[in-house]
Structure 1
Amino acid sequence: MEENAINNFENRIDTSSLIQDLNKLREGISKVVKGQQKTIDLLLTAILADGHVLLEGVPGVAKTLTAKTLSIMIEGEYSRIQFTPDLMPSDIIGTNVYNAASNTFDFRKGPIFGNIVLVDEINRAPAKTQSSLFEVMEERQITYDGTRYKMEEPFLVIGTQNPVEQEGTYPLPEAQLDRFLFKIDLGYPEEQDELEVLKMHHEHQQPTQLINEEFKLNRERLKEFRALAKQVIVKEEILDYILKLVRITRTNKDLYLGASPRAGVALLNASKAWACLQGRDFVTPDDIAYVIKPILRHRLIMTAEKEMEGENMDRVIDRIIHTVEVPR
């Protein structure tokens, strides 16, 4: 059956061309962003799955550079919003401005209108401002003064936050966290990658100067791949496996809050997108294992006892995975 699926996949699109283009895109981003290969892979997966990403890491690990490079490499419009305590919703979505020539009010779009939108330090704005992202992240549109404005594809919100500095921050509402497909923890680069960063700065090279035009992927080509990801086959036993993984979180003794149905949908869409990035048109349990931690780690809440013990959420997810039988 899988052999027939692969043949059908190849009939729909030249898979060798697909893999070649995506690998070139990966390589092009990696030449600029050093030591963050899994982050790059997950960002590309998020774009194919039409999901948003929350990046968490200490200052200086290339969160902003990663978002900007991704935007350039897909020839998209890049926008950056710095969240602060005094930021208002109109500073994000836009506002009506009086036009003296026509004696009317015209809508002036805010910085949320872009293809790759970096929301820097997303936890530094109060709940009222954070809530202005709810509609646009979920429905890819905003409603202002009774008029709806659609976002152009692709539309990816990349939120960043610092895991160490808590002063002057506001916890993200669970409803907002659930709208992020992935939460990616950015660590420090390996020694060799960090050495390359030092050499680059010693030679007075700007990271974006390393971008090569031949590695870019235009938005029209990207749309083809996004459509292809939706066609990836998911067998009944894989759907059942996803369901069991999600539902078992709701009865786990280490967790106060389990995963919502949206988490199951996210797991499905992300595993399909990751399979597509591998040049396959069917999902395997390995695809699910690759994406499950960044999908669940921000959707689950540990019990107070486990938090006091200093338990790590990724270890909890590991134990959950091992309690569910893997389909063959």
Structure 2
Amino acid sequence: MTKAIRIHATGGPEVLQWEQLPTPQPGPNEVLIHHEAVGLNYIDVYFRTGLYKAPLPCTIGMEGAGTVLAVGDDVHDFIPGERVAYAGGPLGAYATERVIAADRLVKLPSDIDFTTAAAMMLQGITAHFLLHRTFKVQRGQTILLHAAAGGVGLIMCQWARALGVNVIAVVSTAQKAALARDNGATHTIIGHATLAAEVKKLTGGAMVPVVYDSVGKDTFNASLDCLTPLGLMVSFGNASGAVPPMDIASLATKGSLFLTRPTFATYAAARADLAASAAALFDIVGTGQVKIQVNQTFPLRDAAAAHAALEARRTTGSTVLLP
């Protein structure tokens, strides 16, 4: 039997239920894995609350690391006993065992442990495509990054520093500002009430070519005001709620701005892209230029407490659930 966190209705953390289910068996092109660690991400909250839709009941979670238990027909790249990790779904990670398509898995290097892997796959690959593909940052540029003390934020701060890019990190507390600076941020701003004015001062009036905003509703308009003409607004999350409908003409009046809403699912849809991003992530972590900070762990059965801490902004870095 497999134990899993399931939801039968959307709502607060209390809807997360610890249940026992039959262990699934792999079909063609599928792999059965035993989880050693499961990643916690804000997208899990979106599915739990119903902001993102999923058939109910379901097991949420999109990232994990563990050991191959069995493989289905036509699986040739993995064998039982191998160490693997994945991110990006489909849903089902909050479980002791799960089945997943073989083309969604990557093999773990021997120097990366399961807890680190579960903390880094979704957030690290997200950081990779944001910095290298959504907007290809260039040495000497200055970029603006919200939620810089979170899991994706700390990886982006370090990776940007390795690329010679200056980061203006936006955080909610002085403690988080210090953490962002320790991880490579050049400047920090606490809160967003006077964001554009502070960015203008820090950049000598030049503003920034790109803003990475995972906060959503509360910061969206302030973020737009921080961009140079022809700048790119990257809205990649909704921690404060979904961005409300906007008048597209405001992009013109603010300097012919560009706006994108990237998702992991799109950027990692092709097996080749997933593998390339994972390889780049393993490489930068292997060099020590990016360190994955697992600052909180919870037993998987206590996922509700982990969600409550994440939503209350009581977490920094990455959080991992341990089956």
Give the TM-score category using the shorter length.
under 0.3
TM-score normalised by structure 2 residue count = 0.27
Relative contact order: is structure 1 or structure 2 higher (C-alpha 8 Å, sep ≥ 6)? Answer: 1
The structure carrying a bigger strand percent of its residues is 2
The structure carrying a bigger helix percent of its residues is 1
Determine which structure has more spread, i.e. the larger CA radius of gyration. Answer: 1
